[in-house]
Structures are given as structure tokens and as C-alpha cells.
Chains A and B, each alone.
Chain A
Amino acid sequence: MLEARGVTKSFGGLLALDGATLTVSDGAIVALIGPNGAGKTTLFATLAGFLEPDSGTIGFAGGDVTGLPPHAIAERGMVRTFQITQPFARLSVLENVVVGAYLRTPHRGEAMERAAAVARRLGLGDRLNATAASLTVAGRKRLELARALATRPKLLLLDEVMAGLNPTEIGEIVAIVRRIRDDGVTIFLIEHVMQAVMSLAERVHVIAGGRIIAEGTPAAIASDAAVVEAYLGRGAARRMLHA
């Protein structure tokens, strides 16, 4: 579904992505984890076309999407959400989702119908006519997800859709994400909530210093020495094993 090879991106002197290479296979739920400043969001932004990589290639759904603008990539079926939610604040919840639905149909009636169905599925059914600005954090996260889903993506890039939610809300989103995947959408997500990563993801990529330093099942990653060191500092793995 997605294959990034040697993706490099620097901002001035700062090397944010340093030859990041990874694949996401069809129909999987894959997580991207890493310490703060590791380059997670930069990688997502680059995959989705918001940033142009300095070098490297990005293959998606059998084509090369390197350097394409975001709208062209969304059109092909790779859609991202934002870590800091970006609602169309003064539009209603339904209108927000309709914007996404319009990607696949020019007809208003059809777009409204699809958007309402998606919003209901994400538990926004009783807020359809409220303005997006009036939603709670949890509501905005769902709206972000609903809008992206309304575009009928093949691959969803979810940037911390669970950050700032309480355990109940996290449980609900986990169930929603799993259901989206079961409907045939591949999921690639950045997440700090490890409980969610462990229960959702089939594969985990770990990024640190702009490089993918480990890849494997959640269980294997949790006991990977390089990963522990990336999070806790040099020598941490050894100390933990001896403790």
C-alpha cells in the first residue's frame, strides 16, 4: 500500500528525516512511535505531500507520489488527519464532513447523505448541526476522523487521534479505528498512548532522529534494546535488564 524509501527532509541545518524507510501493507493497522522530536509528524506531512522530501521516494497504491501536492495525494486515496485538530470552525459538523465527501461526488444530496452516515458511525449523529467550534476535544478528534473517512481513503494517516482523551474515550476510538480497518481501510497511526498501540497495531515502526530504528510486532518492539534506549537514554536497556 505504502512504501517510503530513504526519505530525507531538512529544515535549514536541522535534519528532520534522515533516510526514513518503511512499508505499510494492505489492510494492516501499523503504528509509528518515537520520542518527541523524532520526526513522526514530519514524516506524515511528507508522505501526504505537505512537505516535499529533499531525497527519497514515496510509493503509494502502485504509483509514485513523491513530490505530488496534497490534494493529488488525497485524490489517490491517502488522507492525513492533524495532531492539532483543524476544524472548519464556523461550519456545522455535517458541513465539515460534507467537504470530505465531495471528493468522490459533485452532487450535494449524495455528499450530504454519505457525510451524515459517516458522522453517525463516528458517534457525531446528535451534533450534526452544531458548529465545529462548539465540539469538545474528543468531538473534534472524531470530526477530524470523520472528515478524512468521508473521502473514502485507501490509507488513513492518523496523527495522535487519541491524545488528550480520557480512557473511556480512548477505548471508543480504538473500537472505531478497528472497525474502519475491517471495512477495508489501511491505517497508519502516530500514537503516544501505548495501551492503544499495543491493542491496535499489528506492526510498529519506531522512529528516532529521523531514522526508522526498529520495526516489528508490538511485543517485540517493547523489548527491543534500541527502542528502549531511544526513549530512555543510552545504557537504559542494559540497566533495565540488570535491575
Chain B
Amino acid sequence: MSARAATAALLAAALVYPLLFFGDGAWLVRSNYAIDVGMLALFAAFLGQSWNVAGGFAGLTSFGHVLFFGTGAYCSTILHVGHGVNPWFGWVAATTAGAALGAAVGHLTFRVGLRGSYFALITLAFAETFRVLANSVGFTRGGLGILIPLDQRAAALQFHDPIWFYYLALALCASGLAIAWWLTRSRFGTYLAAIRENEDAARALGIDVVRQKVRCLALSGAMAAAGGTFYAQKYLYIDPSIAFGVDRSVEMLLVAMIGGAGTVFGPLVGAGAVVALGEATRALSDARGLGLILYGLLLVAIVGFLPNGLVGLVRAARRDA
């Protein structure tokens, strides 16, 4: 099967999936839970893709990507709840804010040459700082968090039926895949790969390394911030630890690395694996930490034996076949 045919089949399956479970006319069985699990996987894939754009394609390994997610969530929510701005416009504003924050963080860190584990620690520090700030300043309502009033109309970016959030997550995921695909086909993406592999050589061949890295982090930040708004509108409540909690940073990185960092479909595959694993462990046992332990083991195994993730495994199998 060609890559194009496989992608089309995957898209068709994703479009049909919720119809199996939706409403009275469900083809299989009525189950909002099944639709939500699918939505979660697609959403995790999108957030993983946002990490992948920076961490996978350009080697900008961030440990604090939740920084952008939380900024997006707070941006649209504060505009909406505090200033009456329609969440659709808030979504655009949040995405723009994520890009601006990505560019700002990039400027600060890349201009002085921070990279590798230093960059990872700086992003972690930024995310934690934002969490503490969100806890203590007035306009975020501190630890109380912000409740978004229920208003289930599409015009208010809220939906009564979970199927619409599913399709919205699918649209996000598809746009993330399109961006990743574009990175494999464009000058910008090639420059990012060159920078990831060898900065000095990239510089010698005429690449403005700092500028390209700043652009990359802006793109990645915009994506994660868009995800933040989606989350806020779906769950209608955010607080500092939801918006800026380190566990979401870990999940983004985990999803991309398990699936295959720097590959187009890696985050989607990784998200499928992580969500399936999470749901399976929850069904098997009440022990809350079990899922996390399994994630950890999986990550160790991936880093140790499968540097290109599950996608790399499939590729290797194809080559041998």
C-alpha cells in the first residue's frame, strides 16, 4: 500500500469511527466514552505534533512545552470570561500569543547559544514560572482557576454532542500532520533538519541558525497554544496545574518519542499507543500510578532500543520484507 493510500484509508477510518458510537443511530453501540477516547488520542497526537515540530524536526528538545499550551488556554479563556470576546476569536488570539511567546523564548535562549539539555531546562523553568505566576496574579484568579460558563452553541465554541469535539480534534490533528508533511518537503524543514544534525555545518552553508530556530519555536508554540484553547473549551475549566502542569509537557514529548520523533506520523502512532495503554491499565487496575509506571518503562525501552520510535520499527520491518 502506498503512503498516500494508507493516509487516505486512515483519514476515512478516523472520519467513520465516531459514527459507530454516536447517538441513537449508532452503527455499533451508543457510547460517548468511545468517542471521547478517540478524541483524546487525536488531541494528544496534535499536542505531540507541536512538540515534534520543535523537538523532533529541529532537535529543540523542550521539557516545558506546556508553557505554550497553558498560555493559549489562559489567553482565550481570560478574553472570553473576563472581556466577553468570542472564543473563536480567542482561539486566533491564543494561537498568535503562542507564536509570540515561542519567538520570545527562542530569542532569549538561542541568541545566547543555549541548546540541548540547557534548552530543555530553560523551557522547564519557563513553564514552572508561568505556573507559579498563574497561581499568584489576579487576572488568572490564582489557584481557584477559571470556570467557563456553559453555553453549548457552536458559535460559542462549545458543543453538546461529543462528536463535534471529536471532529474538531481530528481537524487539529490533520492540520498538524499537514504541517509536519510540509516540513519534510520545504526549505524551512530541510534547514531545521540540518540544524538538528550539525549547527556549524548549517551555518557554513548560509543558514541563519538563530532565525530559523526562532521561527520553528514560534510555529510549535502556536500549535500548542491552539491546543490549549481546545482543551479549555472542551472541559470548561482551567487552573494553573491543569494549564501549566509538567505532566502534560511529559505527555507531549512521550507521545512524539514513542511514535518516532522527527517523523510525520510518529505523534499519531505514539498517541494511539499511549492512550490505548492508559485506558487498558485503567480498565485492568484501580492503581492510579500504574499507567505512569508503564509510560516510564515504555520510554526507557524506546530510547534504549528504538531511537526512531514505533514508526522506525515499521520502517525497519518494511526494509527487511
A interface residues, Cβ below 8 angstroms from B: 48, 50, 69-72, 74-75, 79-82, 86-91, 95, 98-100, 102-103, 106, 108, 111, 147-148, 151
Contacts and interface: CB of A to CB of B under 8 A. Distances in A.
B161 interface: no
Interface in B201-215: 201-209
B117 to A, nearest CB: 20
B209 A88 contact: no
A82 B197 contact: no
B217 interface: no
B279 to A, nearest CB: 34
B69 interface: no
Contact of A100 (B193, B197, B205): B205
A71 B190 contact: no
A87 B201 contact: yes
A86 B201 contact: yes
A86 B200 contact: yes
17 contacts: A48-B204, A50-B200, A70-B204, A70-B206, A74-B204, A74-B206, A81-B204, A82-B200, A86-B200, A86-B201, A87-B201, A88-B193, A88-B197, A91-B193, A111-B187, A151-B205, A151-B206
B191 interface: yes
Given A50-B200, A50-B204, 9 more contacts: A69-B203, A70-B204, A71-B206, A71-B207, A71-B209, A74-B203, A81-B204, A88-B202, A89-B197
5 tightest Cβ-Cβ pairs between the two chains A and B? A74-B206, A88-B197, A86-B201, A103-B206, A70-B203
B197 A91 contact: yes
B2 interface: no
Contacts of A69: 203, 208
B191 A99 contact: yes
B285 interface: no
Nearest to A76: B206
B4 interface: no
B208 A99 contact: no
Contacts of B205: 74, 79, 99-100, 103, 147-148, 151
Contacts of A81: 204
Contacts of A80: 204
B187 A106 contact: yes
Contacts of A82: 200-201, 204
Nearest to A89: B197
A151 B198 CA distance: 17
B194 A91 contact: yes
A102 B201 contact: no
A39 to B, nearest CB: 19
A148 B201 CA distance: 10
B186 A108 contact: yes
A148 B209 CA distance: 17
B185 interface: yes
A228 to B, nearest CB: 34
B226 to A, nearest CB: 26
